[in-house]
């Protein structure tokens, strides 16, 4: 019989959030007005999704150790390094509220989130 564990439910939720985040990124357009209602909604959604991914990273760090907790430490896995990098990029892009082109490049880097699906499958 099919048995759902907490880990499987958590992984399914994260996969759903990755897919949702990817779809939301597709709605952004560089020519949208910065003060439009659409961009405000997308910004709020991105904030919530980023918080979820931060919590996921934090849970993994607490359970696995950050770096020097043996070969299973969080940053000993290349997929977790990618996750951590994406979370950091997302946090930096959210924390700086300006239209500097460097920040726009950071926001575009969020498109790396779907790469996490490779690890989850």
Domain presence at residue 32: no
Task: Round to whole Å and give the CA distance between 9 and 20.
Answer: 16
Mean pLDDT along residues 109-114: 71
Question: Which structural domain, as residue segments, surrounds residue 69?
Answer: 6-16+37-120
pTM of the shown model: 0.80
Task: Please indicate, yes or no, if residue 25 is contained in any of the structural domains.
Answer: no
pLDDT tens per residue across span 37-87: 988 898 899 899 999 999 999 999 999 999 888 888 999 988 888 889 888
Count of the separate structural domains present in the chain: 1
In a domain, 30, yes or no: no
Note the pLDDT tens digit of each residue in 13-30.
Answer: 988 998 898 888 888 777
Mean pLDDT over residues 91-118, rounded?
69
Q: Is residue 67 part of a domain?
A: yes
On whether residue 82 sits in a domain, the answer given is yes
Q: Could you give the CA distance from residue 54 to residue 49 in angstroms, rounded to a whole number?
A: 9
Q: Per the domain annotation, does 31 fall within a domain?
A: no
Residue count of the chain: 121
Residue 117's CB is within 10 A of a number of other CB atoms, namely: 13
Please indicate, yes or no, if residue 21 is contained in any of the structural domains: no
Q: Is residue 109 part of a domain?
A: yes
């Amino acid at each position: 019989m099919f048995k759902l564990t907490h880990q499987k439910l958590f992984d399914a939720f994260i996969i759903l959030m990755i897919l949702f985040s990817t779809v939301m990124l597709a709605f952004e357009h560089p020519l949208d007005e910065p003060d439009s209602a659409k961009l405000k909604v997308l910004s709020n959604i991105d904030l919530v999704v980023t918080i979820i991914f931060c919590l996921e990273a934090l849970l993994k760090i607490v359970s696995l150790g950050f770096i020097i907790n043996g070969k299973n430490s969080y940053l000993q896995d290349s997929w977790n390094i990618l996750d951590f990098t994406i979370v950091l990029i997302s946090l930096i892009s959210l924390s700086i509220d300006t239209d500097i082109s460097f920040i726009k490049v950071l926001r575009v880097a969020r498109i790396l989130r779907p790469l996490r699906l490779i690890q989850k499958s």
